[in-house]
Every structure is written in C-alpha cells, then in structure tokens.
Amino acid sequence: MVSEGRGRLFRRKDGKYLIYLPVYLAEDSMFPFKDFDKGRRGAIGSINVKVSFKPRDNKLLVEKWNKPEKQ
C-alpha cells in the first residue's frame, strides 16, 4: 500500500494550474478516488474534487466533491 508520493503543481501558459500525482499513488488499491466520469475532449476521465487550504498552513486538502443538498 502506498499512501504518499512526490507530486508537482504546474502553472500552464493559459493561467490554469494542474496537480500531478504519481501513477503508483493514484493506482494504489487504497486510493480514495475511483469513480472517474467520462471526460470531455477525449480524456479518459475525471473526478470533481474540493481543494482547500488554511492560511499559514503548508498543506493542501483534496476531498471528493459532494453536491450541496437542495433545501
């Protein structure tokens, strides 16, 4: 089981940011994100995630995105 790896944060020329995860981490049997949606423009798939951080904390939190419940 692999629960950590070295990734990278990239800034593209169009101003968007991408986070790279190592294959061995993302394909581990215990990796929490498995249900990929069919991607657009020929992509294999994607998962909506919530990304957050706390000011002055050197951590980035990535969670599965849950649609807000309608009231």
Residue 56 has pLDDT above 90, yes or no: yes
Helix ranges (H only) for the chain are 23-26
Where along the chain do its domains lie?
Answer: 8-64
Amino acid type, 24: Y
In angstroms, rounded to a whole number, what is the distance separating the alpha carbons of residues 38 and 45? 5
Q: Work out the average pLDDT over 19-36.
A: 88
pLDDT of residue 43: 66
Q: Work out the average pLDDT over 30-44.
A: 76
Bridge-based pairing of strands 49-52 and 17-20 is: unpaired
Can you tell me whether residue 70 is helix, strand or coil? coil
Amino acid type, 31: F
Maximum alpha-carbon separation in the chain: 41
